[in-house]
Structure 1
Amino acid sequence: MATITAALVKDLREKTGAGMMDCKAALEANAGDVEQAIDWLRKKGLAKAAKKSGRVAAEGLVAVAVRENRGVVVEVNSETDFVARNEEFQALARAIADVALEKSADVEALLGTHYPGGGTVQEAVANAIATIGENMTLRRAAELQVHKGVVGQYIHNLVAPGLGKIGVIVALESTGDPIELAGLGRQIAMHIAAANPQALDAAGLDPAVVAREKGVLADKNAGKPAHVLEKIVESGLKSYYKEVCLVDQAFVHDPSKTVAQAVKESEGRIGGAISLKGFVRYALGEGVEKQESDFAAEVAAAAGGQA
């Protein structure tokens, strides 16, 4: 039988909002498997959908660079937030984003690309490690481009121009006024930063995620007639899409309408049809586990074990 630790119970409670004893029971019933325990709680109506955001652990910066109809977002990690405030590190992150905008946002290709001032991006990172004295990595990068239109951008928790803790780019295809379109793009990018959609629309969701949601809805309503169950699942999925699909979410700037409705209503002002083509949202360190440390113990160790 799996050992159910207090840390495991705490983790499940943070992910589901369920009570401590319910979390413990869920873990015991599922041999300590957190994901199965989440579904177990949801089937019993004791928890909402699992939170999608992983524990933010890595430090560093997210950099965004946009030029009219093309934009990139990159994440450069460091060990401490102190280094993220270092001007040299900030210059490195910003320069990498600029190189990605000019060349490619494929990480492997980007690392081998020429870096301003000489050498490659990979060598520039290595030089910064040697100079600043802390490990750094170019973790990920992505790009968006439209034939006609703009790539909107937004950076949350701005640390310096083009740099912050959350970076968003969103592609809007349109022949309308580019200045007005850029303003709308920024609003939508701000919405994405706040609402954290998982996909542009239902078609963009992972089929396995949708199947899992259907399974939970069906199990929660087991025993009902087939035709009733089908309608319940269909209704539940619509509600789920409103939570996780960008076009179906309530627009944060005007919750009385969806993002899709807000875009449609902007077409007259902008002077052309608008199509949302995609978005990228990077939150610093999401999905990366960082080893928790006991600061007092570290200080004691540094002092030779003396309190």
Structure 2
Amino acid sequence: MAVSAKEVQALRQLTGAGMMDAKRALEANNGDAEAAALWLRERGLGKAAERSGRENAEGAIALARQDNVAALVHLRCETDFVAKSPDFVNLANDIAQGVVEKGEAAAAGFQPAIDDLKITLKENVELGEVVRIEAPAGHVLDTYLHVQNGRGVNGILIELDGGSQELAHDIALTAAFSRPSVVSVDEVDPDAIANERAQLEKETIADGKPEAALEKIVAGKLTGWHKRQPGGVLLEQPFAKEPKQSVGQQLGDVKIANFSQLLIES
């Protein structure tokens, strides 16, 4: 039966349940609020709202690919124990496959399944970041997923305008190891660069370096800062197969059209 927003709100205030859970409870009990409250209690859904505020920095990264389309999904939870459980990993994989097939909006359709996991696993399970890349003809798409204890923890999507599949994969591996924060120096926050430059200048002066060499020394150190791991610039990272060259040098005229990385940081 159809239930009103007012009835849903009243049940939410009574039980602390989520909006969709309250609506489902009322529909399952023909609008009877008392029976719906009992229905929620029996399923532990009245406690879901309490869990929603708990930190959920753990989780699993899922990767799916179909021809020229690929997707990454981060399904979040509180502990690595839950993150590597089969039900949790399988749901993350299902969401990623749905996003590949139907677009990023398809992820919202898995909310009832996510809510069910909150009950069965008794943790704050939540959909995190969702990324989808559809590469046009002539572009090269590659993916990488590092799996640890049965769940993905480091996922890469990369699309090149030009180049080869091998080159795209080697850059994906480089990124998986170096964990850059941006693709190019142009994407780095100018304020962050200015602050780092000022700090490097102070350190260089404190080291007693000659003033005439100050700019050159600071520029070299700033280049090193862009190469830092993690958090640096992808194009400045040493290329995995030829560390004496940067990713940018290996690319030459080839451009990175799209790049995404999802990580379990804990």
| Fold in common (TM above 0.5) | yes
- Within 5 Å, give how 1:134-145 maps onto structure 2: 134-145=123-134
- Give CA deviations for 1:80-109 in whole Å, capped at 9, x if unaligned: 22222322212210111122223443xxx4
Tell me which residue corresponds to 2:11: none
Percent of aligned pairs with the same amino acid: 29
Q: Aligned pair in 2 of structure 1 residues 159, 152: CA closer, same or farther (>3 Å)?
A: farther
Deviations 1:241-274 (A, max 9, x none): 333221221112221322223334xxxxxxxx63
Tell me what 2:117 maps to: 128
Closer, same or farther: CA 238–127 of 1 in aligned 2, 3 Å: same
1:105-135 alpha-carbon deviations (Å, 9 max, x no partner): 3xxx4553xxxxxxx2211200222233333
Corresponding residue of 1:238 = 223
Structure 2 residue matching 1:165: 3-state secondary structure: strand
Partner of residue 172 from structure 2, selected from 178, 181, 189: 189
Residue 63 of structure 1: CA displacement?
0.8
Deviates more, 1:65-74 or 1:190-199: 65-74
Map Cα deviations across residues 268-304 of structure 1 (whole Å, 9 max, x no partner).
xxxxx63212322222145xxxxxxxxxxxxxxxxxx
Q: How many residues align?
A: 206
* Root-mean-square deviation (Å): 2.7
Evaluate the alpha carbon distance shift between residue 129 and residue 255 of structure 1 in structure 2; reply closer, same or farther with a 3 A threshold. Answer: same
Q: Which residue number in structure 1 is paired with residue 144 of structure 2?
A: 154
| Residue 190 of structure 2, aligned match among 176, 182, 207 | 207
Query: 2 CA distance for matches of 1:209 and 1:69?
Result: 36
- Would you identify which runs of 4 or more consecutive aligned residues in structure 1 move more than 6 Å? 223-226
Pairs within 5 Å for 1:246-285 = 246-264=234-252, 274-285=254-265
Unpaired stretches in structure 2, ≥5 consecutive residues: 1-55
SS at match of 1:122: helix
Where structure 1 has 5 or more consecutive residues not aligned to the other structure, the ranges are 1-56, 113-119, 265-272, 287-307
1:33-182 matched pairs, under 5 angstroms: 58-105=57-104, 109-112=105-108, 120-147=109-136, 148-160=138-150, 163-174=151-162, 181-182=164-165
Highest relative contact order (Cα 8 Å, sep 6+), 1 or 2?
1
- Structure 1 counterpart of 2:19: none
SS in 1 for 2:183: coil
Query: Computing the radius of gyration over CA atoms, which structure comes out larger, 1 or 2?
Result: 2
Aligned-partner Cα distance in 2 for 1:225–1:233: 12
1:135-188 per-residue CA deviation (whole Å, 9 max, x = no partner) reads 31112122334323232111113555xx511111111122x6xxxx33332221
Structure 1 residues 194-203 or 242-251, which shifts more? 242-251
1:68 and 1:129 mapped to 2: Cα distance? 33
Of the structure 1 ranges 221-230 and 70-79, higher mean CA displacement relative to structure 2 is found in 221-230
Whether contact under 8 Å (1:66, 1:151) holds in the other structure is no
TM-score by length of structure 1 reads 0.59
